[in-house]
Amino acid sequence: MLLVLAVAAALSAQDFSHISVERVGGGLHFAEGPVWSHEGYLLVSDSVVDKIHKLSNTGDVVFAERAGGVMGNAFDVDGRLYTCEFRERRVTRTLKNGKIEVLVSRFEGKRFNAPNDIVVRRDGHVYFTDPAFGAQQDAREMDYYGVFHVTPKGEIDVVAKWKTRPNGIALSPNGRVLYVSDSDARLVRAYDLDGKGVASKERTVVDKIPGVPNGIRTDEKGNLYVAAKDVLVYALPNSGPAKLLGEIPLREAPSNLAFGDQDMATLYITARTGVYRVRLGVKGALPY
């Protein structure tokens, strides 16, 4: 798998008629958890074989091998890497010196189902989803699927307890709204966040999503990108229904998304065995 240097054609912020989708990697078993580092590389989880790949303009190397089952990834402002490990049913944090510490593995004495996706706010508040798919259902100790919050002090609370399965997670540009995709109900819910990271006012902001919504991201304008049947881009007005701005079609079903490159105006997309990128005329929102 090789990250090539060619640049896809740029597009205006709301014109998706002339985009160019570029495949920049392949040969993965199931690509997930893309995240861009300000040190100039992209990390991608190959969840089936427990590897995290590091893609840069010098090629592709294995960044880490985790028997715990790697899925979603996120960086904080200090460059520490947070990883959802669905097999070990925990969230870990990798320090700059390479040391790995367990951030959380239980809530109210029960093991998590299978942590899936994660985001870290600028002030250190962490949010992650905890669904269960396939065989993961058999080992559940919780009678719900959760969205969880970990404070900078390491205290954990639950944002929501769902009967349907949460999947992707993202923050608004100002960090005051948390978005979570629901793979079963095929919608995206939102929560207001206060200065202490506490969530309130659950509501649906996008529904009737074609395909199964997985990873989500926002851009600097507050638009929401959803990996589902294709990559769907929605405008989220202050009131009224979301507006579909356009679609980014792929040859494989997308799983997750991350903005990257030096100007943060490239959308990287993981999709089954491949990694794709699209140059956009808008930058991604930075949770950190």
Q: List, for residues 164-197, the tens digit of each pLDDT value.
A: 999 999 999 999 999 999 999 999 999 999 999 9
Q: Which of 260, 274, 258, 270 minimizes the C-alpha distance to 7? A: 260
* Confidence label for 139 from pLDDT (cuts 50, 70 and 90): confident
Q: Which of 166, 161, 205, 160 minimizes the C-alpha distance to 185? A: 166
Residues 3-21, mean pLDDT to the nearest whole number: 49
Which one is predicted more confidently, 45 or 5? 45
Structure tokens at 61: 């190397």
Q: Which of 24, 58, 62 minimizes the C-alpha distance to 43? A: 62
> Given this model, what pLDDT does residue 1 score?
39
Pairwise CA distance, residues 254 & 233, whole Å: 13
pLDDT at 261 over 60: yes
Residue 231 one-letter amino acid: V
Q: Which residues pair with 44 in a beta bridge?
A: 53
Contacts of 202 (CB under 8 A, 6+ apart): 160, 189, 190, 191
Pairwise CA distance, residues 183 & 274, whole Å: 21
Mean pLDDT of the chain: 91
pLDDT at 11 over 60: no
Q: Which fold has domain 22-279?
A: Neuraminidase (2.120.10)
Domain locations along the chain = 22-279
Q: Could you count the other beta carbons within 10 Å of the beta carbon of residue 170?
A: 25
> Given this model, what pLDDT does residue 2 score?
36
Residues 76-85, mean pLDDT to the nearest whole number: 96
> Given this model, what pLDDT does residue 13 score?
43
Which one is predicted more confidently, 27 or 127? 127
